[in-house]
Amino acid sequence: MNVAISKWGNSIGIRIPVVVKESLGLQVGDQVSCELKDGGLFMRKQQSTAQMFEQFYGKPFAEITQADLGSIEEIDWGEDIGGEVY
């Protein structure tokens, strides 16, 4: 799929074809992360923490229970090494 680069003010931009928009579920105002990779630009829609949990557990965030999460135990990371504030 080829798209043209356009000038927008002092910047440049691309238009995202509707088939890509619909496939990725993009909407105006969504945030995307950009990464330079193998000589190209890789863009990915940002997900909220709730969306990541929903994708991982396969159910709506409001339905995720403590039983889904399992036991949560404290982790000892060792001695403090800097100006950590607790």
- pLDDT single digits (tens) 1-14: 889 899 999 999 99
Asked, for residue 86, whether it belongs to a domain, the answer is no
Number of domains, the chain:
1
Residue numbers of the domain that contains 51: 5-69
- pLDDT by residue (tens digit) across 29-41? 888 889 999 999 9
DSSP secondary structure letter of residue 62: G
Instruction: Name the residue with higher pLDDT: 82 or 60.
Output: 60
**Residue 66: what residue type?**
Q
Closest by alpha carbon to 33, among 46, 22, 50? 46
pTM above 0.95, yes or no: no
DSSP secondary structure letter of residue 15: P
The CATH number of residue 64's host domain is 2.10.260.10
Confidence of residue 77 (pLDDT cuts 50, 70, 90): confident
Contact 1, 20 (CB under 8 A): yes
